[in-house]
Structure 1
Amino acid sequence: MHDSLHLVRTRRFLPIFVTQFLGAFNDNLFRTAMVMLVIYGIYGDAEQEATFSAIAGGLFIAPFFLLSALSGQLADAHDKARIVRIVKTAEILIMIFGAAGLLLHNIPLLLAALTAMGVHSTFFGPIKYAILPQHLESDEVLGGTGLVEAGTYIAILGGTILGGILVLQNPDGSYHAEWAAVGVLVVAVLGRIAGGFVPPAPPVDEPEVEGFPKRGMDWHIVRASIRLVSATMHVRRLFLAVLSISFFWAMGAVLAAQFPPLVKNSLGADQTVATLFLAVFSVGVAVGSVFVNWLLKGQVAARYSPISALFMGVFVLDLFRRVRSWPVSGGELQSISAFFTMPNSWMVLVDLLGVAIAGGMFVVPLYAFLTTTVPKSETARTIAANNIVNSGAMVVATGILAVAIGFFEITVADSLLIVALASVVAAWLGWKLHQACDC
């Protein structure tokens, strides 16, 4: 990687990296345990399972759409390190309710905790990117962003694997998640400890930027959101970057929501294979995040984003082809060992890995672009505006998916074809950004 690993030895990067790592780990430990428990231990209907996955994804993302404007204003107006400590303390309280939901098999309680974790991530989200240009040198920001993304997806890998492992089957065929409940509480406490070491990041004293909302708090959620998005999207290069990232996350939301139902109902495999799919996807994005920084040699540029989006589409299309032709299972769900005896099983994983690597290469430079092309005093609000648009795209995507599955009998495999087609639009947006910024 382009001379960025030295950052993990510095206090200006390591504490926020570890805090983000543990937060992503816990998000996915809880979400995976919840989904596995509900899909394999509570529901028994394919349509219910697919709809639940889509609804859960939408509930987690909805706070980003509603509250990102407030989170961006807070991060630019106050010490970001102090906000980190408050947010990580709140995570401990949220996970107490989440653990109770896992223990009691209570779906409303699980979904409430998931929504609260979405609120937690909404207020932490702008900070993890906005704090980088404040603590790092300009030629370190792309490397730092790549490390954060790679670390995030390695954390997703760990949380996903552990969340799948800790949902255990009883001798009578039912499932329990006591160890997962303990795990989410322990990781939340560790995240709060790590957050305590983040160096101060006070508001940056720079002149107000013309066209941007004045600094300070506007508690009117709708008005603040509209003003923030409007100010950001009027800048062409930011408009294209935000739309490109939004397409990526909309496609990712559809894929992530459908992994467990895809594995169970289209490939006839059990929860261990579903966990493997999520893990492979996480590793792939981490690899892509590191690789694109090496290609760009630390330069913040979008020149590899269009081809990366097209490769995403090619791999998704091939995955669609293989899933559609997958042999019908005999009723009993296959384990990992049985799955790998099936023809083309390895190619399914290769396609999934290819999608993820290309996705990491596509999105990392775009995040670095957002944080380096605006004044440091505006980075959190720029990221917040991006999160509003991203989350709106993801909520719409998962909502359309839920409606399509419920009312128009669109299969999980068909959703892959939709993602493949959307990647062409993402590639076009990436190309327009490359032309607009000449980078």
Structure 2
Amino acid sequence: MLTSTHLLRQRRFLPLFATQLFNAFNDNLYKNAMVLFVVYSVYNSEEAEAQFSAIASGLFILPFFVLSALSGQLADMRDKAVIIRWVKLAEIAIMICGAAGLLLAWADMLTTTVAIPLMLVALLAMGVHSTFFGPIKYAILPQHLRKDEVLAGTGLVEAGTYIAILAGTILAGWLPVEAAALTVIVIAVLGYLTSRSVPPAPAMVPDQPIDRHVIRSSFALVRHTMHDREVFYAILAISFFWTIGAVLFIQFPPLAKNVLLASKEVASLFLVVFSIGVAIGSVSINALLKGDVSARYAPISVLAMGLFVACFYVVCRLWSAQVTGDLMDVSGFLAQPLAAPVLLSLLMIAVSGGMFVVPLYAFLTTKVDPGRAARTVAANNIVNSGAMVIGSLLAGGLSAAGIPLIEQVLLSAAMCLFSAWLGWKLHQAERHAAASVSAA
């Protein structure tokens, strides 16, 4: 079926989908509640706010770089459903720690010495949690779904992820921070309960030793995975895409406050619009490709993304020249004549981005041996996280160097050109592989 909603009625898919929804929701509710509270209630400097946002993003991403090789080995060599349950159980303890930090900051008790470090430790731990969950949510799909359902399932997981990001982001902007602290604990418990219904997914390559040397295993995993040209270009394209995404997401909260003179609710609205757009793009590309895993729309999608990033930059420049005064709430923001172009450009950035990245994730699980699917996703996570850490450091460095946030947006637009080239190279590799199969 081209429409993938039938999968939501299947026990082989629904519990995983629900667990992933809770996972993405909690990640974003906690992270955004923390960042928005610190940016709007603790710091009063554009440079400090941008640097904190970059540090928070970097800490969350770092475990993907260090531990993905281990997580990929475990996912291929152990039952994936069992790992999911252990990971979701750990999330409950992590969120209790993070909630304590949020409550201390809300009460203005030891904010800089205890509360913020505690929140950042919990964020780092959530990065570890997501590192072990990440390879499974894609690699388990070929075990539970038919081959012609994998792209649809991948699109649903990606769309569901961004719907959950949407919900978590909305609540982070509107919930009082003390309510957010309690909510993340409740959601962690719900995620564990749904994980208990995920069907068994036995090891694809059982009885093999696991290399626990994280540096050696990471290099070996990436080196082995990159031998396949299609997978190689898919990983590079995904990684560069998320580098762009990291820079944009780091910029949103301080840009909303300092350039658009908007409240934290408006900053949350930006992330909401972005999440809706990625969800639309994720589902739309499945209809365009008619279930076929292909990168033929990748170059044009990411070029369109770069064009809309440039439009967003132009609108922000016009905005900063016309609007002055105090921070605006959502109604005040929406009353501005340039509000619609701001939101439309953000929406289209995300729609084109979703259309670009979803088929590339399907490449990772359909173009390799099923016994290496989780390790392929893990190799992708290693390269992705390294690129995103670089993006976070770049954004933080530009802010430290005094480069205005509005000018940093142009960097993301320029990076889309390189992403388009990688998408074109992937499509060329795909056509070459198809020709080789036909000739054989």
- TM-score (normalised: structure 1): 0.94
After superposition, what is the alpha-carbon deviation per residue over 1:140-199, rounded to whole angstroms, capped at 9, x for unaligned? Answer: 0000000000000000000000111113xxxxxxxxx21011100000000000000000
Verify the 8 A CA contact 1:312 1:354 in the aligned structure 2. yes
CA distance in 1 between counterparts of 2:145 and 2:44 reads 50
SS in 2 for 1:18: helix
CA distance in 2 between counterparts of 1:215 and 1:384 reads 17
**RMSD in angstroms over aligned alpha carbons?**
1.2
Q: Which residue does 2:348 correspond to in 1?
A: 354
Alignment of 1:206-285 (within 5 A): 215-285=208-278
Question: Aligned-pair distance for 1:216?
Answer: 2.9
CA distance in 1 between counterparts of 2:102 and 2:392 reads 24
Q: Which residue does 2:141 correspond to in 1?
A: 132
Q: Which residue does 2:280 correspond to in 1?
A: 287
Question: Aligned-pair distance for 1:238?
Answer: 1.1
Aligned AA (1:399)? L
Alignment of 1:56-75 (within 5 A): 56-75=56-75
Q: Does 1:425 align with 2:385?
A: no
Verify the 8 A CA contact 2:250 2:395 in the aligned structure 1. no
For structure 2, the 5+ residue unaligned runs are 106-114, 435-440
Alignment of 1:3-402 (within 5 A): 3-105=3-105, 106-167=115-176, 177-205=177-205, 215-327=208-320, 329-402=323-396
Q: Please identify which structure carries the higher helix content.
A: 2
After superposition, what is the alpha-carbon deviation per residue over 1:239-284, rounded to whole angstroms, capped at 9, x for unaligned? Answer: 1000000011000011111111010001000011101100000000
CA distance in 2 between counterparts of 1:64 and 1:287 reads 26
CA distance in 1 between counterparts of 2:332 and 2:385 reads 38
Question: Aligned-pair distance for 1:330?
Answer: 3.4
After superposition, what is the alpha-carbon deviation per residue over 1:372-393, rounded to whole angstroms, capped at 9, x for unaligned? Answer: 0001110000000000000000
SS in 2 for 1:327: helix
For structure 1, the 5+ residue unaligned runs are 168-176, 207-213
Verify the 8 A CA contact 1:64 1:391 in the aligned structure 2. yes
Q: Which is worse superposed, 82-91 or 323-332? A: 323-332
Aligned identity (percent) is: 60
Aligned pair count reads: 422
CA distance in 1 between counterparts of 2:418 and 2:208 reads 34
SS in 2 for 1:204: coil
Question: Aligned-pair distance for 1:369?
Answer: 0.9
Question: Aligned-pair distance for 1:343?
Answer: 2.5
Verify the 8 A CA contact 1:19 1:194 in the aligned structure 2. yes
Aligned AA (1:202)? P
Verify the 8 A CA contact 1:316 1:352 in the aligned structure 2. yes
Q: Which residue does 2:427 correspond to in 1?
A: 434
Question: Aligned-pair distance for 1:421?
Answer: 0.5
Query: Runs of at least 4 residues of structure 1 off by over 4 A?
Result: none
